[in-house]
Structure 1
Amino acid sequence: MGYESPMPVQEEVIPFLLGDDNDVIALAQTGTGKTAAFGLPILQKIDVATYQPQALVLCPTRELCLQIADDLNDYSKYIDNLKVLPVYGGSSIESQIKTLKRGVHVVVATPGRLLDLMNRKTVDLRLVKNVIMDEADEMLNMGFTDSINAILAEVPENRNMLLFSATMPKEIANITKKYMKNPKEIVIGNKNEGNKNIRDIYYMVQARDKYLALKRIADFYPNIYGIVFCRTRKETQEIADKLIQDGYNADSLHGELSQAQRDYVMQKFRVKNIQLLVATDVAARGLDVDDLTHVINYGLPDEVESYTHRRGRTGRAGKTGISISICHVKEKGKIREIERIINKKFEKGEMPTGHAICEKQLFNLVDQIEKVKVNEEEIASLMPQIFRKLEWLDKEDIIKRVVSLEFNRMIDYYKDADEIQQVDERAARGERGERGERRSFAAEEGYSRFFLNFGKADGLYPNQLIELVNKCVTGKVRIGKIDLRENFSFFEVDEHEAQRVMDSMNGFEIDGRRISVEPAQGKKGEGEGRGGKRSYGRSEGGYKGRRDGAKEGGRRYERSDRTFRKDERDSDRPWKRTPAARDARKKKRF
């Protein structure tokens, strides 16, 4: 399989798993060779004559489950009759039960499906000698704690237990105390530290320019092969659809796809028919794909640990990789927090110009022409006709035409495209000057700034505000800066559409509460002087009081009888027109 010498995690872990009563906690990044580290020793200890599960591997996602099972099958090529069964949701439980009844030696499982099989009394864990929890931190983040406790309660006490994790949160420490006996802690690198072979780059842009920035980054790296991480399923599908429409080899991977669809997308990605896989964090967990050149964060994740897992998709097995983050200015603090966790500084990237992109693409084409393999026999009979057809052109003309044939579309696009202006972080953050005055967040040129009487306490986030404008206002509206406060918000729209936006949105309500949109120029509360406090009274540009049911600083936001979580921001919102607005719309229609 190409292994010449053990990687550090393999060298440390394998001797312990070959022994008895050796519990191990291994802190190692994705791509460091973990599967072989636990796979080789547990296969070595299997009694093939006993057709009952003797090793159990728990992992968070079906993709990782399948990948581990495939690797174990490869490692056991010369062990006759050894059976490995992947057990995961989304596939037929009946076929998994039939395979279990015929007898298996190693079970690789997601916690939910394994617990289901245990409740049906169709899997027997009494002979398990080794339990491996791979990507344990992610399993706990996904809410599998109760399932893991129920599973570990059924395995024998005199078994080896190996816990793999990229980070060491408190929840994992609790599991180690409860189920492990004097575990040996093995740290590859420094605890919670990121892979040093990965460059971390961020681009600070306006929210409205994020997709254009993504396109420029993809164009600047002609041979890019990577994953674009999005926060929600809806955003994932939207970005993938846009990329496909713009001619990129892209597809989406998220929780709403069926197992067959996910397998089909992953197969295309593995054989590189897809260059850019747009995915949510959950869907991309455990994707063991070789040679990824880039990971692109279409916005930073809520949890710092998730960034560590995202970047670990590239730079695997000692190779180099690039992790790119497309951020807005409010994520600056999160960048600093990530830098502290991974003990590494981000590079601030300069957005490539259209000229630089075309130059990069052009030289990539020249390299491909130079290196292309020519099948002399197949084309020999056609060449005389081709030579006669092109004999009136000299070498320079032919080269120019080949280049133009490939590049006219891209050259035309970037010739007319505006350059993306990166955010001046200091100015946009509104940092205090010498007198302690906070700069006013003034509207950009060509835009009008509005006040909206909904804010973070109402569960409003930038994507919801954009969705609200789209639902309330017919036609296309360009949206500029969005500034969310606790109880109210400011947003900018094209100044030519300002009056129409204000009139349209004021005719709507949310759960019986009227939307109020007013011009924000000159309003107090946009900044505060030294020692001053914002006042949220309506006369001073704010919304007085908090919405009932909102939980300030928490992760849930109540709205009447509905609860919205952070991972459900793409669900439908209860926007509706007021009765007066509906009557006015009917009169206008007739």
Structure 2
Amino acid sequence: MKNFEELGVSPEILKAIKEMGYENPMPVQEEVIPYLLGEGNDVVALAQTGTGKTAAFGLPIIQKINVKKRIPQSLVLCPTRELCLQIAGDLNDYSKYIDGLKVLPVYGGSSIESQIRSLKNGVHIIVATPGRLLDLMQRKTVSLSTITNVIMDEADEMLNMGFTESINAILADVPEDRNTLLFSATMSPEIARISKNYLRNAKEITIGRKNESTNNVKHVAYMVQAKDKFAALKRIADFYPQIYGIIFCRTRKETQEIADKLMQEGYSADSLHGELSQAQRDAVMQKFRIRNIQILVATDVAARGLDVDDLTHVINYGLPDDTESYTHRSGRTGRAGKTGTSIAIVNMREKGKLREIERIIGKKFIIGTMPTGKEICEKQLIKVIDDIEKVKVNEEEIEDFMPSIYRKLEWLSKEDVIKRMVSMEFNRFLEYYRDRQEIEAPSADGRGERERRDRSDDGGRGRKAEAGYTRLFINMGKMDNFFASQLIELINKNVSKRVQIGRIDLMKNFSFFEVENEQTQTVIESLNRSSVGGRKVSVEVAGEESGSAPRGEGRGEGRKYGAPRRSEGAKPFRASRPKSTTSREERGYETARGPKKKEDWQNLLNGKEPDFSEEGWARRKPKK
């Protein structure tokens, strides 16, 4: 292995990076640095996050700068402001002993006027996000005609974020005889097109295998039902008391909701997403870097450019839509030669996506077993004991206080003191998990064993509420595009107090859900004043004997299970057996008010839903 001096790095830069702790070049640095120090050498480098890319392109472009000419000579494009600031900071550190070298970060969310002033004063290296740089170009406040080196860092992510047109416009304005370096985690068709159009005889350098995440990362998947995802997340966080990691969510809304829930329940957490101001994002990142918070809940875009080397875990709160994005997420841990764990909380519907990710990363997921309450309490107890062992005792400072402390505690034995100290931290976990139901892995049909036992042939209509809960009926179902998330959102929107929701059973045209007994009346009154899509919501207590839908108008405008809604002004359909059947009914004739065929009536009386699929209706058409 060569050292940095043998790679051709100048003495001024060597002095700076030695102070930063750089000893031997990483593989990507050993490959890229000598090549970029030459002229007319275009490179496509496939490397994951955390492989030392910034130094790989940063050291040679700094070394090639003519400080006497205060004009833009190198351009670094990156997808986010966080990464922009990180790269600019690193370049300033590398050039510490090069007098007069100016690096300017250009990104949205900060004053464009101050960036314009800095450009007028003269800069050597511009580190920019595509959107803000294009804005400056359109204002005629920056010229790229003197650029000799262009670096596109995390090019695949810039293309995923929709910067393709901006990149095309920027590269079209840069001299054709420049050096171009394109960094990407994956060789997608778009990356190949950019390489073909804008790079000349580019050398492809692959660090490790293409599309492979770091070998230091263990990949674990927990299979849960959708309703148990947050409870599963809590158990995972509790099972790893020393966790220092990122939870990735798919949307800004979900990110904020998960962070809020964690903070409300006492976890050291905060959120990072695009709706935060730049000042808020900087404040959150600073707290995370100095470990004032243990868990950062973030979107993929916001987490780009995080310069944190000691993450123990990355948790995927559901898998990303783009399976290759998983490599970026998992690459946030296991950096700088350390090990890490990438956890995915998934349901049965995501099994196909899990297999696709395994194909991309070239590894198999370990299917994890959800920790039990007892196992979590044991882990937390050990943490308390470890913390006590590690406490630094300042003998001189506490010496004067010890006599009164001894007198205060003299009636307690040594064992009693230890038990009480441990219990101060341990009791909250013990109380939380004492009577908590364990989370079961879903079976092949996507349901847990307990749920399958609870669901009888009537689809859950006959189920009784759990102890302490009341089972409620609501006249909205799957046919209304009404699912668990819509129900929770409806309750949160209309009920001012926090509502503890139990089991949810979704049917075609109506649903059941459970709330704590003392909240029942509040929920009923609040939801009955609401509407969804212009349709009035109707909620009431389900039938007491069987937990089924109540009779009368409250069961969705008098509809029988599975029956189509009556048209405006039509008479309510009555769910009683007709006194007789006519010849028309024998022939399968039906109306919009409900089934008229004997088999349908019999199904209703037996608590089964008639077949109202297209094939079912077709079978009932009258014979000509």
| Residue-by-residue CA offset, 1:354-410 (whole Å, 9 max, x unaligned) | 111111111122122222222222222222332333233332222111101121222
Q: Distance in 2 between matches of 1:394 and 1:471?
A: 53
Q: How does 1:431-450 map to 2 (within 5 A)?
A: 442-443=459-460, 446=464
Deviation at residue 440 of structure 1 after TM alignment: 8.4
1:347 corresponding residue in structure 2? 366
1:118 corresponding residue in structure 2? 137
Q: How does 1:287-298 map to 2 (within 5 A)?
A: 287-298=306-317
Q: Distance in 1 between matches of 2:128 and 2:460?
A: 53
1:167 aligns with 2:159: no
Classify the secondary structure of the residue corresponding to 2:324: helix
| Residue-by-residue CA offset, 1:495-530 (whole Å, 9 max, x unaligned) | 999999999999987656899997999869xxxxxx
Q: How does 1:31-50 map to 2 (within 5 A)?
A: 31-50=50-69
2:74 corresponding residue in structure 1? 55
Superposition RMSD on alpha carbons, in Å? 3.5
- Shift in CA distance, 109/359, structure 1 to aligned 2, threshold 3 Å: same
User: Which one of 329, 339, 343 corresponds to residue 310 of structure 1?
Assistant: 329
1:408 aligns with 2:430: no
Deviation at residue 455 of structure 1 after TM alignment: 6.2
Structure 2 spans left out of the alignment, 5+ residues: 1-19, 450-455, 466-470, 539-554, 564-592, 596-609, 616-624
| Residue-by-residue CA offset, 1:200-222 (whole Å, 9 max, x unaligned) | 11111122221111111111111
1:89 corresponding residue in structure 2? 108
> Are the equivalent residues in 2 in contact too, given 1:479–1:491 (CA < 8 A)?
no
1:274 corresponding residue in structure 2? 293
Deviation at residue 541 of structure 1 after TM alignment: 5.8
Classify the secondary structure of the residue corresponding to 2:370: coil
Q: Distance in 2 between matches of 1:184 and 1:75?
A: 25
1:494 corresponding residue in structure 2? 514
1:265 aligns with 2:297: no
- Shift in CA distance, 490/392, structure 1 to aligned 2, threshold 3 Å: same
1:370 corresponding residue in structure 2? 389
Identity of aligned residues (%): 66
User: Which one of 465, 475, 485 corresponds to residue 463 of structure 1?
Assistant: 485
The alignment of Structure 1 onto Structure 2 pairs a total of residues equal to 521
1:548 corresponding residue in structure 2? none
- Shift in CA distance, 479/309, structure 1 to aligned 2, threshold 3 Å: farther
User: What is the letter of the counterpart of residue 345 of structure 2?
Assistant: I
User: What is the letter of the counterpart of residue 412 of structure 1?
Assistant: E
Q: Distance in 1 between matches of 2:490 and 2:213?
A: 38
Deviation at residue 412 of structure 1 after TM alignment: 1.2
Deviation at residue 239 of structure 1 after TM alignment: 1.0
1:321 aligns with 2:340: yes
Structure 1 spans left out of the alignment, 5+ residues: 431-438, 525-536, 546-590
User: What is the letter of the counterpart of residue 501 of structure 2?
Assistant: R
Classify the secondary structure of the residue corresponding to 1:215: helix
Deviation at residue 73 of structure 1 after TM alignment: 1.1
1:240 corresponding residue in structure 2? 259
> Are the equivalent residues in 2 in contact too, given 1:453–1:542 (CA < 8 A)?
no
User: What is the letter of the counterpart of residue 463 of structure 1?
Assistant: S
Q: How does 1:23-38 map to 2 (within 5 A)?
A: 23-38=42-57
2:586 corresponding residue in structure 1? none
Q: Distance in 1 between matches of 2:529 and 2:407?
A: 70
In the superposition, the TM-score normalised over structure 1's length comes to 0.80
> Are the equivalent residues in 2 in contact too, given 1:207–1:481 (CA < 8 A)?
no
Classify the secondary structure of the residue corresponding to 2:301: helix
Q: Distance in 2 between matches of 1:482 and 1:110?
A: 47
Larger Rg: 2
Tell which has more relative contact order, 1 or 2 (C-alpha 8 A, sep 6+).
Answer: 1
Classify the secondary structure of the residue corresponding to 1:397: helix
Deviation at residue 453 of structure 1 after TM alignment: 6.5
2:151 corresponding residue in structure 1? 132
2:501 corresponding residue in structure 1? 478
1:103 aligns with 2:122: yes
Deviation at residue 134 of structure 1 after TM alignment: 0.7
> Are the equivalent residues in 2 in contact too, given 1:112–1:144 (CA < 8 A)?
yes
Q: Distance in 1 between matches of 2:191 and 2:560?
A: 51
In the superposition, the TM-score normalised over structure 2's length comes to 0.76
2:580 corresponding residue in structure 1? none
| Residue-by-residue CA offset, 1:22-41 (whole Å, 9 max, x unaligned) | 11111111111111111111
Deviation at residue 330 of structure 1 after TM alignment: 1.1
Which one is further off, 322-331 or 439-448?
A: 439-448
> Are the equivalent residues in 1 in contact too, given 2:477–2:511 (CA < 8 A)?
no
